[in-house]
Amino acid sequence: MNLNSRYIARQAILDSQSNCVGYELLYRNANVDRAIIDDVDRASMQVFDSAYLFGIDSLCGEHKAFINCSQDVITSDIINVLQPARTVLEILETVEPDPEVLKSCERLKKQGFMLALDDFVPSVKTYQFLPLVDIVKVAIDDLGPEVISILADRTMPGTRLLAERVETEEDFKKARDLGFEMFQGFYFCKPQVMATNDLSPTKVSGLRLLQATMKEDLQFSELERIVKEDAALCYRLLRFINSAEFCLRSSVQSVQHALALLGERNTRRWAMLTSLVVAADDRPRELLRCALMRARMLELIAPMAKCSSYEGFLVGLLSLLSSILDSPKMTDGLEMPLTVSAALAGKQVRLRKLLDLAEKYERSDWACCEEIAKELKLTEIELSNAYLQSADWVARIPI
């Protein structure tokens, strides 16, 4: 397998409670800046290849992988390399329901795979797939009572409806009110209100901890005081230092001792991660994962773009803080390095370009990724590897 010529990303699929139920794996040849129908077979094959090579656990954590299937892939044996219980096979709109394809669908369902029909629009062709699929995906622009009526008449009992391209809270509510149970898009990454919410005491403590951590001259006495004043932070710190990762001979019982053992670098990392986890307590877990993945990816690629890895991590982490706290411009009052502040304010410094690159990668906007990567002198393999490493890292974090 040659990773030098391809990107792979994932997009979350959530339920009505905004809990993640799976990820669609998305592929694009890095030398192609638009979708080409003739390339769907190669794209499908490459996604299967990546899912097999890296493992669904690394790419999707505990959740299912949704993988696009072209006509040739559905009727081939490559699907057998994946675990049926972990995989949802998406039948693309280009697939024709000929006898061989329909027979393959029946065989795959017997093997334990779930089937999804992608980009459903009413037609004689799509009607033939409806009795076979477990999930029907409909783009938000195609939703309407007539589509719901057709699906109610023609699908099997238990078939679930998934709304695609859900970008706003209004999109989410529209689809949910029409009976959709699953949602795909980035609506959860945007604040839902335009006024500052009252923050819980623990969230306030988390923000104080984050503020203290970002100071150039880290004051352990200040961190100790903040942690001691909040039982949740104290518990998280002592649980972290006493975990198997540190292999300590005896347990640590005091906050002061724990911070001393961690040292400055590990203390900064623990405090930033903990601040975000505490702040995101009542928000979708996927939003937190997205922030952590973005932070880790920027941390990995920042040195390649001649930026600080610490500042890259911080920019990625803070870029979604307003959404996590459900209040706009929550970073305005935080003291932070000037380059980080400039990047978050939208100024075209190198850190901002890295953040733009990460955001475009998340949305599988490969053309923009290619353009920004070229400017920053980053290669496709560096981006792909950083993204995959970030996904694996986040999958291993108990959040």
CATH number for the domain whose boundaries are 3-189: 3.20.20.450
Mean pLDDT of 352-376: 93
The better pLDDT of the pair 58, 169 is held by: 169
Question: Given this model, what pLDDT does residue 34 score?
Answer: 41
Q: Which two tokens stand for residue 86?
A: 């972990």
- The answer on pLDDT for 271 being more than 50 is yes
Pair of tokens at residue 82: 């994946």
Instruction: Round to whole Å and give the CA distance between 15 and 24.
Output: 14
Percentage with pLDDT > 90 across the chain: 44
- For residue 41, pLDDT over 80 is answered with no
Stretch 155-183: mean pLDDT: 93
Beta bridge partners of 11: 24
Local structure of 386: helix, strand or coil: helix
**Which sign, positive or negative, has the C-alpha torsion 383, 384, 387, 392?**
negative
Planar angle of CA 282, 288, 293, nearest 5 degrees: 175
pLDDT digits (tens, 9 = 90+) for 93-104: 999 999 999 999
**pLDDT at residue 193 greater than cutoff 80:** no
Residue 264 burial (CB count, 10 A): 11
- pLDDT attached to residue 180: 94
pLDDT greater than 50 at residue 196: no
Q: How many residues in the chain?
A: 399
| pLDDT tens-digit map of 279-332 | 888 888 899 999 999 999 999 999 999 999 999 999 999 999 888 877 666 666
In whole numbers, what is the pLDDT of the chain averaged over residues?
85
Domain boundaries, the chain: 3-189, 201-277, 285-395
What number is the average pLDDT over the span 168-184? 93
- Average pLDDT of the residues in 31-47: 54
Banded pLDDT at 35 (limits 50, 70, 90): very low
* DSSP single-letter state for residue 70: -
Q: Nearest to residue 322, comparing CAs of 344, 352, 354?
A: 344
Amino acid identity at 72: D
- Contact indicator for 31, 39 with CB cutoff of 8 Å: no
> Residue 288: in which H helix or E strand, if any?
helix 285-301
221-256 per-position pLDDT tens digit: 999 999 888 888 888 888 777 765 666 667 788 888
Looking at 83-97, 182-196, 223-237, which range is the least confident one? 182-196
Predicted local distance difference test score (pLDDT) of residue 31: 43
Give the pLDDT of residue 239. Answer: 79
Assign 275 to helix, strand or coil: helix
